[in-house]
């Protein structure tokens, strides 16, 4: 990782073409991107800015066809794209924005109406290898996939399915069965934008590009692992969605489990996404099914007054859990995961707590909470890696203090997750996408507590959640709350 870089130059450097990972077949690039959910919130907030960035970088060359039920004129469509890109940040390249607008067309229609797909076929023209991005509510995934098949549009195409991948193991299996009955498995791209974040990718790289970690990366030297994803805001206008999902389904079963897999997986046998997927899946399969006593659910005060929320709701806006991975490397090591809304800080962080030295030679060698040595990955808001150690103060006495060896990366030209993932999906590169087996294994681990779980406990907005969550790791020093990162030069 690099020290903070200067951002004086406003010109975004051209990105080198990224070849498929070693050992993987080169796939045919898609010749059209079809965006179902063109007028939705996800498209406006994330997808249009990503398409603009891809246009600037020269990685988006295929036409974009939007599909939605809303009636839009050409002028309204152009305005929507312009507004989306401008709200995401300063428009550095107006010419690229106009090129993007010129590449986009629109098909209006009901997803349940076969005529919509007939008009889509006409709009595709000579395109023969389209990629269909389902940025729509999960209830419509099956409807669209079936109509693509019936209209003959699935042949030689690929599909991008936005999370969540089902609500439980049974629904995930059903969705996978349906998708695989229409598209080959290697043409199904299950997108989790977390996997496109630079800081998440760095976990995989940092682990296997540095030899000093492997000797200590096991149950003999690691006491516990904490993963925190905290947000200061509430559900906003997503009350209806949250009522159907909750924090466990929305964040932990996918985002945080993916981080666990990258930290816990064995070294892949070779370079290539198939080998990485295999090792990640083994981690999910080794997860001990959760029990109600491993779980603390919380709900911020005021949630029941949010729009589209049941006034008697028991849906959790906070979830903390204790997880075990029953493998040779990780047997007996607890993993503590938590996420929530209306918490004290916006942050995502991993803390790998190392065990204390076997003999305490110095009376001050262990801080009050026993965190002498740890490795910390700060994932957001700024990417960083820190290693904590005790160092002696000057003087005759053997008295020390806690220091962090700190590496920070602030790249002003870093790819946005959706930019990276859409570029890869169009190119047919599945390295950063999730496999069928991994999704089903992850659902199997949380299945026991989806319906049988403790009641959601109230907590104050701006806090770190219910106090009961502290008991999960009372024997492991308590939660390490992410702190504000100071500006550092290195």
pLDDT of residue 369: 52
Per the CB < 8 A criterion, the answer to whether 191 and 421 are in contact is: yes
Cα distances (Å, whole numbers) of residue 358 to 98, 196, 400, 483: 64, 40, 18, 29
Report the CATH fold assignment for 32-191. Answer: Rossmann fold (3.40.50)
pLDDT tens for each residue of the chain, 490 residues long: 444 333 333 444 444 334 334 445 546 899 999 999 999 989 999 999 999 999 999 999 999 999 999 998 989 999 999 999 999 888 889 999 999 999 999 999 999 999 999 999 999 999 999 999 999 988 899 999 999 999 999 999 999 998 888 899 999 999 999 999 999 999 999 988 888 888 888 899 999 999 999 999 999 999 999 999 999 999 988 899 899 999 999 999 999 999 999 999 999 988 777 888 899 999 999 999 999 999 999 999 999 999 999 999 999 999 999 999 999 999 999 999 999 999 999 999 999 999 988 777 776 655 545 567 899 999 988 888 999 888 878 877 787 777 888 887 666 556 788 999 999 999 999 888 988 999 999 999 999 999 899 999 999 999 999 999 999 998 898 999 998 766 554 4
Q: Are 32-191 and 195-476 the same fold in CATH?
A: no
pLDDT of residue 4: 38
Taken in order 470, 347, 252, 198, the sign of the CA dihedral is negative
User: Structure tokens of 226?
Assistant: 């904490």
Cα–Cα distance, 33 to 11 (Å, whole number) = 27
Exposure string over 298-317, b if 16+ CB within 10 A, otherwise e: bbbeebbebeebeeebebbb
409 has which bridge partners? 383
Non-local CB neighbours of 101 within 8 Å, separated by 6+ positions? 78, 81, 82
- End-to-end Cα spacing for the chain: 9
pLDDT of residue 123: 96
Beta strands in 110-191 (DSSP E): 130-134, 158-162, 188-191
Cα–Cα distance, 131 to 113 (Å, whole number) = 20
Cα distances (Å, whole numbers) of residue 466 to 225, 292, 481: 20, 16, 14
pLDDT of residue 100: 96
Per the CB < 8 A criterion, the answer to whether 407 and 171 are in contact is: no
- CATH code, residues 195-476: 3.30.360.10
pLDDT of residue 318: 98
Q: Which residues are catalytic?
A: 255
* Per-domain residue ranges of the chain: 32-191, 195-476
């Amino acid at each position: 990782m690099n020290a903070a870089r200067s951002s004086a130059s406003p010109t975004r450097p051209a990105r080198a073409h990224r070849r498929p990972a070693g050992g993987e077949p080169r796939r045919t690039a898609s010749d059209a991107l079809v965006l179902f959910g063109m007028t939705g919130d996800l498209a406006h907030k994330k997808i249009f800015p990503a398409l603009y960035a891809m246009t600037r970088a020269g990685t988006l060359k295929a036409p974009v066809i939007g599909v939605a039920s809303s009636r839009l004129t050409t002028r309204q469509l152009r305005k929507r794209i312009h507004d989306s890109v401008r709200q995401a940040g300063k428009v550095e390249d107006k010419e690229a924005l106009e090129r993007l607008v010129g590449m986009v067309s629109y098909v209006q229609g009901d997803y349940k109406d076969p005529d919509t797909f007939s008009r889509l076929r006409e709009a595709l023209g000579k395109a023969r290898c389209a990629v269909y991005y389902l940025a729509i509510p999960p209830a419509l995934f099956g409807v669209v996939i079936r109509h693509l098949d019936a209209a003959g549009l699935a042949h030689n195409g690929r599909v991008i399915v936005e999370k969540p991948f089902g609500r439980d193991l049974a629904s995930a299996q059903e969705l996978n069965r349906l998708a695989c009955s229409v598209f080959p498995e290697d043409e199904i791209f299950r997108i989790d934008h977390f996997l496109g974040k630079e800081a998440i990718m760095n976990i995989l790289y940092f682990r296997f590009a540095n030899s000093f970690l492997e000797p200590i990366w096991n149950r003999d030297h690691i006491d516990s692992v904490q993963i925190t994803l905290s947000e200061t805001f509430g559900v906003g206008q997503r009350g209806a969605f949250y009522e159907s999902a909750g924090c466990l389904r929305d964040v932990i079963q996918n985002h945080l489990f993916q981080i666990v897999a990258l930290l816990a997986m064995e070294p892949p046998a070779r370079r290539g996404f198939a080998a990485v997927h295999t090792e990640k899946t083994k981690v999910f399969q080794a997860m001990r099914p959760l029990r109600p006593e491993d779980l603390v659910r919380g709900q911020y005060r005021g949630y029941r007054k949010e729009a589209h929320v049941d006034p008697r709701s028991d849906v959790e806006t906070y979830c903390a859990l204790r997880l075990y991975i029953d493998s040779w490397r990780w047997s007996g090591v607890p993993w503590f995961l938590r996420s929530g809304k209306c918490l004290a800080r916006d942050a995502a962080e991993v803390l790998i707590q190392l065990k204390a030295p076997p003999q305490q030679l110095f009376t001050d060698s262990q801080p009050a909470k026993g965190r002498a040595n740890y490795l910390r990955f700060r994932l957001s808001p700024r990417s960083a890696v820190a290693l904590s150690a005790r160092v002696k103060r000057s003087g005759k006495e053997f008295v020390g203090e806690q220091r962090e060896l700190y590496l920070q990366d602030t790249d002003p030209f870093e790819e946005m997750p959706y930019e990276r993932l859409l570029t890869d999906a169009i190119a047919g590169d599945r390295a950063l996408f999730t496999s069928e087996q991994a999704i089903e294994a992850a659902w199997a681990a949380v299945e026991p507590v989806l319906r049988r779980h403790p009641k959601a406990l109230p907590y104050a907005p701006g806090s770190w959640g219910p106090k009961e969550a502290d008991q999960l790791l009372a024997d492991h020093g308590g939660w390490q709350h992410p702190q504000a990162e100071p500006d550092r030069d290195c």
